[in-house]
């Protein structure tokens, strides 16, 4: 009688422990319910003053206008780099951006027949305001990043002009010239960005202790081990009884 009671009790205990272990194991493996959801982009946010199209001015002045805004912002950015750059390469790049940005703007105005709304967009002005509030290495890092951002915006706008069937031949020629000029700026920018630590991070390794995971994993391991031990004990008991 005692043998049967103990056997049954051990079996029940094994079942309980095994269930806990399974649950722990499942939770350890699937730690979060919000895994792999897409990142909310900045333009997804309600009340956002602009998304990619707004930044490029597609809605207002069309692709040529967006290219003009980007060229104007690049010119202003160049001036800031010359004036506030801490490193020589940033000041040199600033001078180049200032000259090339103005030349780009003149080309685009010519391509547009002399009338082109070339004010930087609100988004570009916010970027320039951020830079004005910095100095030293932090200025250089943010300047290099902003240069890449504005250059990409100008490139996107120029490509949009080339793809526009309604764009004039003059406008398309100006856009092609703009792309060529932007290509010449890219190399210098890439050479300067990596050593300054301004490139977009490819990874964030922010944990080496395991304590944060320790609230689940070791407990699950212990419970599973205990369950297996009890199961083996129960089998041994049954064989002994038989």
Partner 1 sequence: MVAAPGGLTVEAGQGTLEFDPPAGRGAVAPGRHPAEPGDGAAVPGHGGRVPRALVAAGSVLLLGGLTMLAPGPGAVATPLGAPEPQARPGPDPLDLHPGGPVVDGELARLLAGEAPAPEPIRAGTPPVELALPARGLRAPVVAVTTGPEGALVVPEPPSTVGWWSPSALAGGAGGTTVLAGHVDSRTGGLGALAVLRHVTEGEEVVLLGADGRSVGYRVTARRQYTKAELPPEVFAAGGPPRLVLITCGGAFDRSTRHYADNVVVFAEPA
Q: Does 189 bind partner 1 (CB under 8 A)?
A: no
C-alpha dist (Å) from residue 55 to 13, 38, 175, 180: 64, 22, 18, 22
How far apart CA 131 and CA 146 sit, in angstroms, is: 9
Instruction: Choose, by CB under 8 A, the member of 17, 67, 76, 192 that binds partner 1.
Output: 17
How far apart CA 172 and CA 164 sit, in angstroms, is: 9
Shorter beta-carbon distance to partner 1: residue 45 or 99: 45
Q: Does 239 bind partner 1 (CB under 8 A)?
A: no
Which residue matches tokens 């990619």?
52
C-alpha dist (Å) from residue 219 to 18, 19, 222: 13, 13, 5
Q: Does 165 bind partner 1 (CB under 8 A)?
A: no
Q: Does 8 bind partner 1 (CB under 8 A)?
A: yes
Selected range binding partner 1 among 77-85, 103-111, 161-169, 205-213, rule: CB under 8 A: 205-213
**Interface residues for partner 1 in 108-147 (CB under 8 A)?**
122-130, 132-134, 137-138, 141-142, 144-146
Shorter beta-carbon distance to partner 1: residue 176 or 188: 188
How far apart CA 180 and CA 175 sit, in angstroms, is: 9
Shorter beta-carbon distance to partner 1: residue 13 or 103: 13
């Amino acid at each position: 009688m005692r043998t049967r009671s103990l056997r049954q009790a051990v079996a029940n205990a094994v079942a309980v422990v095994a269930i806990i272990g399974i649950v722990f194991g499942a939770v350890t493996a699937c730690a979060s319910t919000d895994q792999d959801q897409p990142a909310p982009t900045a333009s997804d946010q309600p009340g956002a003053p602009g998304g990619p199209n707004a930044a490029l001015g597609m809605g207002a002045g069309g692709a040529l206008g967006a290219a003009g805004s980007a060229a104007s912002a690049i010119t202003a950015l160049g001036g800031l780099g010359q004036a506030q750059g801490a490193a020589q390469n940033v000041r040199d790049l600033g001078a180049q951006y200032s000259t090339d940005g103005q030349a780009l703007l003149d080309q685009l105005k010519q391509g547009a027949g002399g009338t082109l709304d070339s004010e930087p967009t609100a988004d570009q002005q916010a970027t320039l305001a951020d830079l004005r509030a910095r100095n030293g290495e932090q200025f250089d890092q943010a300047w290099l990043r902003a240069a890449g951002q504005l250059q990409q915006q100008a490139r996107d706008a120029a490509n949009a002009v080339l793809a526009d069937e309604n764009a004039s031949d003059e406008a398309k020629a100006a856009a092609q010239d703009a792309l060529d000029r932007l290509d010449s700026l890219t190399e210098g920018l890439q050479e300067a960005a990596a050593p300054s630590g301004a490139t977009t991070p490819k990874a964030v390794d922010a944990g080496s202790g395991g304590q944060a995971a320790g609230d689940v994993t070791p407990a699950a391991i212990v419970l599973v081990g205990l369950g297996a031990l009890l199961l083996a004990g129960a089998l041994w008991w049954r064989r002994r009884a038989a």
